[in-house]
Amino acid sequence: MGMSTRSLIESDCSRQRGASHRTRAVQSAVQVVLLGSMLLGLVSGSAQASVVQGLDLTGLTASADLVVHGQVASARSEWNTEHDRIFTTVTVSVVSTLKGESADRERSFWQWGGAVDGISMWIVGTPSFREDEEIVLFLRKSAIRVWDVVGLAQGKLTVERDARTREKVVRQDTTGLDFARRRASGAEARSIDGMPLAELLREIEAGNRRSNPSGTVRP
């Protein structure tokens, strides 16, 4: 059945332990742990922001192995076995799969950070999740075959209704991110934040068909 979430995390910790000894001075200066399973990013100590490559909708879709539209069923935080790091397991009830092959009605993944026993730990720029929120999520497989959110907080879009039109739109919260470079697919990329959900889903599906003509979309 594969490794458990905790086993995968302990494996990841073991892989990162050697690297953390070599980079302890840098990590203590900025007080953040960057893991190889996440995007290659740097952290700016002065700005307290994770420096990442900016991705437009085309870039997010191309970088993802799986794109789903769904609802957060649960977000559960707990300590790792060594009781020195907190991680959160997020489970999403899938409404539709926009990219990637997936027959699962639920998709779970984990990320470092969370709150347990009154103690909070966070990596700057990672997305937060709350139960019952509707989202569009861009995921990719890491080196240890677990799912990561693409581009840190860039890869999680929250769906809400526009107060004026009552139309569903998506919001992209990139608080805690500093963009080293933004990749645009055209002369001028449209902002994702505030885009109507229906239009966003159409553009993702169209972009996926162009890049992968044999790809399928599962309802």
What pLDDT does 210 receive?
76
Range 136-148 average pLDDT: 89
More confident residue, 23 or 107: 107
Residues of the chain with pLDDT > 90, as a percent, come to 58
Which of 8-17, 129-138, 171-180 comes out lowest in average pLDDT?
8-17
Which CATH number fits the domain 5-211, given the four candidates 1.10.287.3510, 2.40.50.120, 3.90.1150.10, 3.40.350.10? 2.40.50.120
Nearest to 55 by CA among 127, 148, 153, 126: 153
Give the phi and the psi of residue 177 in degrees, each rounded to 5: -115, 140
Give the residue with greater pLDDT, 10 vs 155: 155
Backbone angles phi, psi at 127, to 5 degrees: -75, 155
Could you report the per-residue pLDDT of 25-69, keeping only the tens digit for each? 333 332 333 343 333 333 333 347 888 999 999 999 999 999 999
pLDDT at 22 over 50: no
| Percentage above 70 pLDDT, the chain | 69
Express each pLDDT in 61-117 by its tens digit: 999 999 999 999 999 999 999 999 999 999 999 999 999 977 689 999 999 999 999
Measured from the Cβ of residue 29, the count of other Cβ atoms closer than 10 Å reads: 10
Tell which wins on pLDDT, 181 or 12. 181
Q: How many CA atoms lie within 13 A of 106 on its CB side?
A: 9
Contact 50, 152 (CB under 8 A): yes
Amino acid at 90: V
pLDDT, greater one: 69 or 209: 69
Residue of higher predicted confidence among 182 and 172:
172
Q: How many CA atoms lie within 13 A of 173 on its CB side?
A: 11
pLDDT of residue 185: 54
- Residues with Cβ < 8 Å from 97, sequence gap 6 or more? 66, 67, 68, 217, 218
Widest Cα–Cα separation across the chain: 54
